[in-house]
Amino acid sequence: MIAEFGLAALWFAAALAALQLIAGSLALTSRGAGFAGIVRPVAVVQGLLALTSFAALITLFMRTDLSVKLVAMNSHSAKPLIYKFAGTWGNHEGSMLLWVAVMGLAGGFVALVERRLREETLLATLAGQAFVSLGFYVFLLLASNPFERLPQPVAEGQGLNPLLQDLGLAFHPPTLYLGYVGLSIAFSFAIGALVTREVGPAFARAMRPWVLGAWIFLTLGITAGSFWAYYELGWGGWWFWDPVENASLMPWLAATALLHSCSVLASRNALRAWTVMLGVVAFSMSMVGTFLVRSGILTSVHAFAVDPRRGSFILALLAIYIGGALTLFALRASTVTEGERFSPTSREAGLVFNNVMLSAILGIVLIGTLYPLVTEAFGEKVSVGPPYFNPMAALFVIPMLLVMTAGPLLRWRRDSLRRIAPALAIPALIVGAALLALTVYAPLKLLPLLGMALAAGLAVASFLPLRGRNLRRTPLPVFGMVVAHFGIAVALFGVACDSMFSVERLLAARVGETTQVGPWTIRLAAVEPVAGPNWTALEAQLRAQYKDNAPILAAPQSRTFWAPPQTTSESALVTRWNGQLYTVLGEAADDGRWQLRLWWKPFVPMIWYGGVLIALGGVLALIGRVWADLKRIIARDKIAYRRARQGR
């Protein structure tokens, strides 16, 4: 019953999306003005129906209803409750349903609260949003129905991939999806503004919170994903330029550029066409990412959906949305002027420079990710990995970081470098000193070396915009910028330290044997069997002693899941302020020795602290913006109220 109910809700939601699209489009014509009134309510109900449908699927998973194909394929009655819940979106159909549910809710929310734009622009936006949603509804209903029943209920489900039975991963995909959906709303705003030719500060202000929100979720999603890869895959790497990682990075790069150009448009009424273009690109990258991950075109550590039919469907959607948006852009390009001018040394110029750099990095990642697919289509397999991406991206990242230190100090419109030079002397000195110290004391590796020096300079420079300000009167978004830029410096520092100072130790140890890795002394005290709800494991008891401190217990496991049968190695981490000890238990050798992999990774957690700081900066900015909007609305209502009273 619940499955049929969920499916019905999904069909109704799709029908309402169609209605929203038709009514919204008609309302823009001179004769269809009568339809304007129903668009907002329809958008809200559509969102609620999509949510209902998703709630139905969650219920099926929580109850492990094995007559439903999706549950039987991906769940198991003995799975811990939290993973039954999270397993709802740990598969293709469920994750697409989550996507449409969030997209519907976001559209409904826009319909409820957005009052800053001209009504026609909002109607066009909602029509655009319905158009995007409709494609996904059709995709779900025709090509990936999550509620399909089995002719015969099975006795037991097949279980969830053990790698995915992990809290980090349970919440990693929905976080990314929230980001993608936020970008789809930004895309709809761009379409709406193009249709009614209202590309200006009001449009930028309406779009900005969505871009910010999307960007926060993408940042958190990427951070969580990279941490998951780090501790769950058991090889101590945190980023491998894997196509699926790139798929999440590309929308983030575009969103970062969009965020900054959106600010320029909102406060300076410049960069109009560029901002609209980025709005289209950012959502396109989300779709490309979805296509890469969901189509199974890649064979990578993350790809757990393999079905070419779906891939072509997503590709068709991608072509329709992006092709349509670009056509609209081309038609309207002549009417969208670039807006206000500015001098080459101004805050706008700095932002434009970094926008171009971000776009270039995006280009590199896109080409490097897609190129192997292209050659494979012609029968030649090549691999593109870190040795390509690292230097190529650095080509653009380094100038970007340099401009990032100076940009926030510049004034809008026109400024001179001489004015900010004294302030910049401090970070410049720090970069110089850091470079000097590092070339003397460290083994010479060019990129990490540059990264570390730039991180040190940027860390200081990121706080310079606060200099000479009254901190209590400083707007929250300025703090947001400071925190986010500082977060970039922190993450960069972690990255550079990891590639410069990590120490690895591989050994086959007998119980009782002691070894050294970096400053740690590690003794294999015992290897014991342990059992969990749906796995059994061998657990190594490692007594890890940092220099002369008291020993700490680290217990890496080699886990064997029985539904589905698979072995995973669960690393054990010991975190100190200055780094992390990473331990993995490998296989047993014939002579009673155990394979151990140990790493000492100085300052590696900085990568994720940095990621969290970047997201926190976004949150501060978002709160500041929304708060300012609220105050403006309240003030306007007060004035309207007074006028009404005086008029009476």
Q: Which residues bind another protein (CB under 8 A)?
A: 233, 235, 237, 240, 242-244, 298-301, 303, 341-344, 349, 352-353, 356-357, 359-360, 363-364, 367-368, 371, 375, 380-388, 392, 395-396, 504-508, 569, 586, 589-590, 595
Nearer to another protein, 63 or 505 (CB): 505
Q: How far is the CB of 501 from another protein (least distance, A)?
A: 12
Q: How far is the CB of 64 from another protein (least distance, A)?
A: 29
Nearer to another protein, 327 or 343 (CB): 343
Which residues, listed in sequence order, are joined to residue 520 by a DSSP beta bridge? Answer: 517, 546
| Contacts with 204 (C-beta within 8 Å, 6 or more apart), sequence order | 262, 263, 265, 266, 275
Q: How far is the CB of 454 from another protein (least distance, A)?
A: 19
Decide if 173 contacts 305 (C-beta within 8 A).
no
| Contacts with 406 (C-beta within 8 Å, 6 or more apart), sequence order | 350, 417, 420, 424, 461
Q: Specify the amino acid at residue 405.
A: T
Q: How far is the CB of 406 from another protein (least distance, A)?
A: 16
Query: For 288-304, b where at least 16 C-beta lie within 10 A, e where not — what string?
Result: bbbbbbbbbbbebebbb
Residue with tokens 């397993």: 87
Nearer to another protein, 22 or 306 (CB): 306
Measured CA to CA, the distance from residue 245 to residue 290 in angstroms comes to 12
Q: At 523, phi and psi to the nearest 5?
A: -115, 130
Nearer to another protein, 114 or 307 (CB): 307
Q: How far is the CB of 563 from another protein (least distance, A)?
A: 21
Q: How far is the CB of 499 from another protein (least distance, A)?
A: 10
List the structure tokens of 505.
């130790």
Decide if 172 contacts 166 (C-beta within 8 A).
no
10 Å Cβ neighbour count for 346? 21
Measured CA to CA, the distance from residue 488 to residue 455 in angstroms comes to 8
Measured CA to CA, the distance from residue 104 to residue 47 in angstroms comes to 4
Q: Which residue spans within 110-249 are E strands per DSSP?
A: none
DSSP 8-state assignment for residue 589:
P
DSSP 8-state assignment for residue 149:
B
Measured CA to CA, the distance from residue 453 to residue 493 in angstroms comes to 8
Which residues, listed in sequence order, are joined to residue 134 by a DSSP beta bridge? Answer: none
Measured CA to CA, the distance from residue 465 to residue 347 in angstroms comes to 12
Which residues, listed in sequence order, are joined to residue 524 by a DSSP beta bridge? Answer: 542
For residue 396, give Cα distances in angstroms to 99, 237, 253.
33, 23, 12
Nearer to another protein, 255 or 584 (CB): 584
Collapsing DSSP states into helix, strand and coil, what is residue 370? Answer: helix
Q: How far is the CB of 378 from another protein (least distance, A)?
A: 9
Q: How far is the CB of 241 from another protein (least distance, A)?
A: 8
Nearer to another protein, 85 or 235 (CB): 235
Q: How far is the CB of 77 from another protein (least distance, A)?
A: 29
Distance of CA 335 to the CA centre of its chain: 33
Nearer to another protein, 134 or 244 (CB): 244
Nearer to another protein, 475 or 586 (CB): 586
Which residues, listed in sequence order, are joined to residue 535 by a DSSP beta bridge? Answer: 561
Nearer to another protein, 395 or 630 (CB): 395
Nearer to another protein, 371 or 641 (CB): 371
Measured CA to CA, the distance from residue 558 to residue 93 in angstroms comes to 31
Measured CA to CA, the distance from residue 554 to residue 596 in angstroms comes to 12
Nearer to another protein, 367 or 640 (CB): 367
Measured CA to CA, the distance from residue 647 to residue 43 in angstroms comes to 36
Nearer to another protein, 313 or 329 (CB): 329
Measured CA to CA, the distance from residue 23 to residue 27 in angstroms comes to 6
Q: How far is the CB of 66 from another protein (least distance, A)?
A: 29
